[in-house]
Amino acid sequence: MLRTYLSALLLLVACTPEGELEVRIYGEAFIEEGIPASEFADGWALQFDSFLVNLGNVIVGPSRMNGAGLDESPFHVYDLTRPSMGLGQQVDEGPVNVGFYGSVFWIAPDAEPVASDVSEADLARIRDGGLALYVAGSASKAGVTKRFAWGFATKTSYGNCEVETEVTSAAPASVEFTIHGDHLFYDDLFSETPSVRFDLIAQADVDGDGEITQAELLAVDLRPLTNYQVGSTGIVDLWHFIEYQTGTLGHVNGEGHCENTAEP
């Protein structure tokens, strides 16, 4: 049965269903299993212990949607580190008419999110902290380990995605909201070929306690650097640089880009 926050899907199609559509969210192997050293330009390897996403205002309907009228949809919290064998976690499923389906979704704070197989403690962390995203884990290189636990209250909408899903009567179809965790560690906000790096983040641990905090990232001045370019955003520190990247995590069906609007 369709959950309430996707009930709009049935309002967008005729009364007679002709196919099955499933909606899932997936953090890929980088979030479930970790980002290997081969992906980092500076040789770090990273493991996520927690990757909590507050997903809501979801609609999947015929043609591309612009997000209008979705602000009353409830939010659900998912931990994308849960092993899924490549399947991700189910958001919803239901009968729909055959055709092409576009997507809109938000990752944002919400006062009353619902748990989706996360602990009460994790749900409270998102709810009480007013967070859209919480990531915790560690990165290691040459016998050195640095830990992090960061919460972000950014509001990001994803819509007009370039990939649509075709529903036919021959077999069930699937829409996947794909979350790219490696984007948090990109070294450029606008390059089409950024590198994934952790050295600068590790160097932010000036007290040497092995924990990289928001305060330490705020103290890192990006302006003298040749990489970590910020365009016209006005960002000058590493915390707000990473925070900006949280608005780029969402895709559809793997690499399908969406138009996104992010607010701090």
Domain that holds residue 58: 4-258
- The answer to whether position 263 is within a domain reads no
Other C-beta atoms closer than 10 Å to the C-beta of 59 total 24
Q: How far apart, in whole angstroms, are the C-alpha atoms of residue 36 and residue 248? A: 21
pTM of the model: 0.90
- The answer to whether position 111 is within a domain reads yes
What pairs with residue 22 in β-bridges?
Answer: 93, 174
- The answer to whether position 264 is within a domain reads no
Give the percent of the chain with pLDDT over 70: 89
What pairs with residue 25 in β-bridges?
Answer: 89, 177
Other C-beta atoms closer than 10 Å to the C-beta of 159 total 21
- The answer to whether position 237 is within a domain reads yes
- The answer to whether position 133 is within a domain reads yes
- Give the dihedral sign, CA 111/112/114/120: positive
pLDDT mean across residues, the chain: 89
Q: What are the CA-CA distances from residue 216 to residues 154, 173, 187 (Å)? A: 20, 45, 17
Write the pLDDT tens digit of every residue in 72-121. Answer: 468 999 999 999 999 999 998 888 888 888 888 999 999 999 998 899 99
**Alpha helix segments (H runs only) across the chain:** 8-11, 28-32, 120-129, 199-203, 214-218, 238-245
Write the pLDDT tens digit of every residue in 127-186. Answer: 999 999 999 999 999 999 999 999 999 999 999 898 888 888 888 899 999 999 999 999
Closest CA to 218 of 128, 150, 140: 150
Domain count for the chain, please give it.
Answer: 1
Give the percent of the chain with pLDDT over 90: 71
